[in-house]
Structures are given as structure tokens and as C-alpha cells.
């Protein structure tokens, strides 16, 4: 089964953070590979993803660093009718957010 979310996505909005926060340390991005791994970076967070796939959605756990502190959590992403993805992102024992991302124009699904 080929997952339609494989590729590089630009995180363009969040329900609890503004755009300045998202792009604090560089462009906010999520990368979804076809081999069970990925990456997410926004604000001061950089984390690796462990991914489970379906055709038009993923579930993931994540681990990484934010301002030198180890952080982790889980989430999911779903392809929307307009071609963007909606990401539900949660820190363990912390914030929960809904992010929206658009496919990078140089990124194509595999």
C-alpha cells in the first residue's frame, strides 16, 4: 500500500502557536518517508518520527529535543480534500496542537 502522505510538507499554521513561533529556528517542516521514519521541526523542536501508515493517513510517535530538553509524544496526520494534511500533535504530559501543512512543491509522493 502506498501512502499518499510520503514526502516533505511545509507546516503553515497551528491552532495554538503563531507563524513566528512555528518558523522560530527555520521553516516549520514535516518529512514522511516510506520506510517507517520521518522528521518534524518547528519552533525550537527537532524530532524523529516512528510512523505507521495507511493510504491517506499516518500515526506516529516522536522523540527529540526542544531547547536542549528531551521531549516526546505522539500524533497522527490525515490527507484533506484540498491536498493539505492536518496533523494532530501531542507532547507527553503537555500541549496538544492541530497543525496544517502543504506539500513542498519540490516533493512528490513515492
Sketch out the chain's domains with CATH numbers.
7-102 (2.40.128)
Report d(CA 48, CA 5) in Å as an integer: 16
User: Which of 22-26, 36-40, 42-46, 92-96 shows the lowest mean pLDDT across its residues?
Assistant: 92-96
> Phi/psi zone of residue 104: left (φ > 0), alpha (ψ -120 to 50 degrees), beta?
beta
pLDDT one-digit tens code per residue, 40-78: 999 999 999 999 999 999 999 999 999 999 999 999 999
Amino acid at each position: 500500500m502506498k501512502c499518499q502522505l510520503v514526502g516533505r510538507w511545509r507546516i503553515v499554521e497551528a491552532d495554538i502557536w503563531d507563524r513566528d513561533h512555528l518558523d522560530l529556528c527555520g521553516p516549520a517542516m514535516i518529512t514522511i518517508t516510506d520506510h517507517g521514519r520521518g522528521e518534524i521541526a518547528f519552533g525550537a523542536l527537532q524530532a524523529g518520527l516512528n510512523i505507521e501508515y495507511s493510504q491517506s493517513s499516518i500515526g506516529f510517535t516522536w522523540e527529540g529535543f526542544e531547547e536542549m530538553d528531551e521531549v516526546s509524544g505522539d500524533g497522527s496526520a490525515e490527507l484533506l480534500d484540498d491536498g493539505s494534511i492536518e496533523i494532530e500533535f501531542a507532547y507527553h504530559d503537555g500541549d496538544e496542537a492541530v497543525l496544517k501543512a502543504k506539500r513542498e512543491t519540490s516533493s512528490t509522493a513515492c
